[in-house]
Chain A
Amino acid sequence: MEKVIIKLETLSCPSCMQKIENAVKGVDGVEKESVKVLFNSSKVKTAFDQNKTSGEAIEKVIEDLGYPVIKKTVKFA
């Protein structure tokens, strides 16, 4: 398991959170329970299986939704 923390540009509508959450949960290999979208600090935190997906893949899913990623940190968990 690895953990990724993705910092986004300021989120301003609560429905963005729902979109991002659903999209990240939809990535194969992401541990659904661990997905956290922090609205006020504009961060996404999630654990994932590094054999199935990667921090880059998760980042891309979010960027494809139209939310620019500022910074991404991947850690072993």
Chain B
Amino acid sequence: MQKTIVSNKKAITLVSGILILSGFFSRFVLRNMTVFEWALIAASFIGVAPIAVQAYQALKVKVVSIDVLVTIAVTGAFLIRNFEESAIVTFLFLLGHYLEQRTLNKTRSAIKELTEMAPESALVQTAGGSFEEVDIDEVDEGDILLVKTGAKVPVDGTVLVGSGYINEASITGESVPAPKSVDASVYAGTILENGTIQMRADRVGEDTTFGKIIELVEEAQDSKSEAERFIDRFSKYYTPVVLLLSLVVLLISQNLELAITILVLGCPGALVIGVPVSNVAGIGNGARNGVLLKGSEVIHDLSRVDTIVFDKTGTLTAGSPTVAETEIYVSDHQMVLNYLSSVELESDHPLAQAIVAEIKDAHHYRVEDTEVVRGGGVISTVDGHRIAVGNVSLMDREDVLLDEQVLRDVRQFEKNGNSLVLTAVDGQVALLMGIRDKVRRGVKDSLEELKQLGVKNLVVLSGDNQGTVDSVAGELGLTEAHGHMLPEDKSAYIRKIQEAGQIVAFVGDGVNDSPSLALADIGIAMGNGTDVAIETSDVVLMNSDFSHLPHAIGLTKATSNNMIQNIMIAVGVVLVLLTSVFFSDWMNMSIGMLVHEASILVVIFNGMRLLNYQSQKREKTANTVSLYPD
């Protein structure tokens, strides 16, 4: 009986609304007061039933819920034969509840989309060797599974037979399909775009990487900041206090009408729902845009960040050195490039690889008598010529004369942050190359945006030499740059600026520098959604897309503001209602309930705005990398 009443709440709301409408119709159009009264009595009875059932259940587990307040208020109104109030209040309460549920589902939609990407079934090999479709929950570790083209990989595992291209956007944010063959790891929730594979299940259910991401996001939505825990404690005692207050008013004033009006006006309504709504919408937006925020405490901290520290130059740069500048001092360009490329082809030094990659159409000669000079370079015989490739000290050793022009170029290249490679042919300097790690595309704009968002200091702490670090810092307009830093130097630096009162976010790849990630107020992992990154940091930027960072900061600021707005709306409404009940004569239960329900919808709609938040740059380019392949 109880269950049927509660589960038919929607129908009850509708019937009660129709009864009220027909009541007013008969009163104002038909001028029939009897029908009016009976219609409202019926509406009150039907409407209060589900509320009373819930109130009873709440009291059974010792909770004074809003349902309890409303049930008492409606009963009171009924006793003083104010059927109009009792009917309208119950109807509004039910209608508000229905709308709340509808709109709340919208705010949760972003995360729901994520969970719906979870695979539901799998093809498991049976004892007979054939494959049979089973529910995802029935897959055990060690099972052999078949994945066909277009299907989702059901669990984390290893490819046993076959190969194919897998879209791993749900895990890495990278939408370019990755080739997978035997022994490769595959992840639940990714999509096999072509090919067919058989795989062994290694991790199932919530232990999969995808399961962990979902669990993280779900728990993040419900994790509470200090302020929210306060509101929770507050509302636990708030409703009983309202009940007491109305009893006191009743005893003093002997006015039942006033007492029950206070019960309705005192409903905590928007206060309880306002902050969680902002939270869930903000975290949902993040999840949709490749930014995983671990809860509302993180939102609060990140929105107030003063200083962002980057763990290495590699976070800002492409990570692989390339030839940036070249000067050739002889007339036969192609010849010297051929010699250089031939020598460097033999080496696996990163600078050599950069040079080979730069000189694409070289003719390669046989290289003989190669001598490697430690800390200098390499000397070989190519095509009958003595070729020396290396730095300035190698040239000194070889007695190569560097004239005024070469020395000037050397200084200029060094100043630009290059590592230098000189080439001498038969003791004559022939070529100078400057090689450096280039700044990643878009990083400069993103950093500019961070500054606009109010981040005061952008710092890079790097193990590289100071020259390289300075040139990157200069190009990007960083406020501070420190080279030659060991992991312990980095954490000491973070401690120092924290003591100076700054709120510090540390951006790293989540594998190294874990002391700094832990020490900083907010640890931001930039990486590919690996387990380690997910577990150790406060914020995970899926994919290494740098533009996620300004989005994260902007989003937390917007979310934080949204929460404050919602708290103000909620507190404001209760204050206005309670003062007007004492100081005005137009306030009654129905208006109070209407205002309450309206304010709840207002805070939900306000929270929903966050779902559409976009950072400036993304707005311009409309180029988002999402968790979901479109």
Contacts and interface: CB of A to CB of B under 8 A. Distances in A.
Interface of A: 10, 12-15, 18-19, 22-23, 26, 36, 38-41, 43, 63-66, 68, 73
Contacts of A66: 2-3, 6-7, 53-54, 57
B218 interface: yes
A13 B66 contact: yes
Given A12-B104, A41-B218, A66-B53, A19 B276 contact: no
B65 A39 contact: no
B111 A10 contact: no
B53 A10 contact: no
B62 A22 contact: yes
**Interface residues of B, dominant DSSP:** helix
10 contacts: A10-B108, A12-B101, A13-B272, A18-B236, A26-B61, A38-B218, A41-B222, A63-B3, A64-B57, A73-B137
Contacts of B58: 15, 19
Given A19-B63, A23-B61, A40-B221, A10 B276 contact: no
Contacts of A13: 65-66, 97, 100, 272-273
A40 B65 contact: no
Sorted nearest first, the 6 A-B pairs with minimum C-beta distance are A22-B61, A12-B101, A40-B221, A15-B65, A41-B218, A66-B6
Interface string B270-283: 00110010001000
Interface of B: 2-3, 6-7, 53-54, 57-58, 61-63, 65-67, 97, 100-101, 104-105, 108, 111, 115, 137, 205, 218-219, 221-222, 235-236, 239, 272-273, 276, 280
B350 to A, nearest CB: 47
Nearest to B59: A19
Given A19-B58, A68-B7, 10 more contacts: A12-B97, A13-B65, A14-B235, A14-B273, A38-B218, A39-B221, A40-B221, A41-B108, A66-B53, A73-B137
Contact of A22 (B63, B101, B218, B221): B63
B523 to A, nearest CB: 24
A9 B7 CA distance: 11
Given A10-B105, A40-B111, A40-B222, A15 B66 contact: yes
A65 B7 CA distance: 12
Contacts of A12: 97, 100-101, 104
A65 B276 CA distance: 23
Given A66-B6, A66-B54, A19 B222 contact: no
A19 B56 CA distance: 11
A23 to B, nearest CB: 5
B61 to A, nearest CB: 4
A39 B222 contact: yes
Contacts of B54: 66
B627 to A, nearest CB: 17
B263 to A, nearest CB: 15
B57 A19 contact: yes
A8 to B, nearest CB: 13
Nearest to B67: A15
B65 A19 contact: yes
Contacts of A68: 7
Contacts of A41: 108, 111, 115, 218, 221-222
